[in-house]
Amino acid sequence: MRFYKSKISDIFYRFTYSKWQLKILLGVAAFGIFISMILYTQSLVAELISIEQKTVKFYTDIYKRYSDPNSFEDYLFLIDNITPTLSFPIIITDKNDDPIYPYDQYTINVHIDTSMTMEEQKQFLLKTISKMRETYEPIIIEGPDGKLLQKFYYSHSFLIDKLRFFPFVEILIVITFIIIGYIAFSTIRRNEESKVWVGMAKEAAHQLGTPISSLMAWMEIIRLNKDKPETLIDTINEMESDINRLNIIATRFSKIGSKPEKFSKNLAEVIEQICTYFEKRLPHIGKQIEIVRNLDKSIGASINPDLFQWVIENLLKNATEAIENKRGKVFIDLSCKAQSHINISVTDTGKGMTAKQRRQIFFPGFTTKKRGWGLGLSLCKRIVEDYHDGKIYLKETSPGKGSTFVIELPSYNLFSS
């Protein structure tokens, strides 16, 4: 067999990222947003600090002018009207950096506990002045003769502190929502997984039931015909078929959850085996359903035959069960789309589905049948997408007009045979 790579990759597979690549991409994007928020916030903080420093300077200039003994009324105007508009803390000291008494009249936006003694209040103000000095240089007030009279110690407003921590608060809120969302989705996922395992147990019991019942019947036939060699030979052959069926079922279920081994297979032959198997069973369900094949026999792929046959088997089974009339057709197509991907479509002439049903068909536990566990299509999706790097989807459906399911396998699974 000659292997080759296609020249034109399918758009879907070209831009499909693995889960860890998406996680890294989202992590980098989130980190970039976080850094951008911090830098933007810091630029706003720097701008506000600059405005507050200019305001302090402006205030001290007015204070120096209006504190003249000859302009007492202007001084009161300053105290009553301009001072309340300031939002940042200010402490006025003498030339020796000692707070001026009474302290409440020479401080702005500084909370002083009046229950403390005067000495304790002074010590509190001295500690506050020391912290202010570490960040901003005090503004000096000089007299007409140039002598140092007072100093204005100040700090930025509480609004700036809030603004600095705002991005971190936002990130904390976002992280909290992410954690809550993760817990919620994990709970949903665990519920779905529990449905899958319950469904798989029921599916296993259902699939094992038929060959086991047949074997019991063959054993009874052997007891009744032990003296008829020709009957025994036919019975043993049928028993061998049932045992092979049991082995296939066991192999399928054993490969769910582990990475299955792939083999180079002719897809037309694999699909034909399943179609032939179904055609022999169709008369027993009381319907005349024709399986119309259009299979390109030159297409091969690297697949796990047991699991891939299970997918085709499920699609054909769903297609035949969707046909409610006595007569109907199921069309199965195998082709290679411009050497970019392998395309397998299964179309029925059945009852179709509503838009609401269409959105839920791949969810574990969802079924449109009176009897069923809603596991088949969810397993098909896992087998095709997780084990064969392909995709499966419902291409077309409408009530009364049937449905078309499509399987696409990527180009690197393709080879000539």
Give the tens place of pLDDT for each residue, 88-104: 788 888 888 888 888 88
Predicted confidence at residue 207, as pLDDT, reads 62
Count of C-beta atoms within a 10 Å radius of residue 258? 8
pLDDT band at 19 (very low <50, low <70, confident <90, very high): low
pLDDT above 50 for 355? yes
pLDDT above 50 for 7? no
- Say which residue, 55 or 62, is predicted with more confidence: 55
Q: Are 389 and 17 in contact (CB under 8 A)?
A: no
pLDDT (average), residues 279-308 = 80
pLDDT above 80 for 416? no
Predicted confidence at residue 339, as pLDDT, reads 67
- Bridge partners of residue 191, in order along the sequence: none
Predicted confidence at residue 66, as pLDDT, reads 60
Q: Are 303 and 413 in contact (CB under 8 A)?
A: yes
Lowest mean pLDDT among 72-86, 283-297, 378-392: 72-86
- Say which residue, 203 or 235, is predicted with more confidence: 235
Q: Are 330 and 291 in contact (CB under 8 A)?
A: yes
* Cα dihedral sign, 211-213-217-220: positive
Predicted confidence at residue 8, as pLDDT, reads 36
Residue 172, classed as helix, strand or coil, is helix
Predicted confidence at residue 146, as pLDDT, reads 76
pLDDT (average), residues 54-81 = 63
Q: What percent of the chain has pLDDT over 70?
A: 72
* Cα dihedral sign, 302-303-305-309: negative
Query: pLDDT tens-digit profile of 396-415?
Result: 888 888 899 999 988 655 55
Query: pLDDT tens-digit profile of 218-232?
Result: 787 777 777 776 667
Q: Are 250 and 291 in contact (CB under 8 A)?
A: no
Predicted confidence at residue 9, as pLDDT, reads 39
Lowest mean pLDDT among 15-19, 50-54, 86-90, 224-228: 15-19
pLDDT band at 70 (very low <50, low <70, confident <90, very high): low
Local structure of residue 106 (DSSP, 8 states): S
Q: Are 271 and 334 in contact (CB under 8 A)?
A: yes
Phi first, then psi, for residue 317 (nearest 5°) are: -60, -45
Query: pLDDT tens-digit profile of 23-42?
Result: 788 778 877 877 887 787 77
Strand order, beta sheet including 288-295 = 288-295, 327-337, 341-348, 403-410, 391-397
User: CA–CA separation, 193 vs 191, rounded Å?
Assistant: 5
* CA dist list (Å): 383 to 210, 260, 379: 24, 10, 6
* CA dist list (Å): 7 to 10, 11, 298, 316: 10, 12, 18, 33
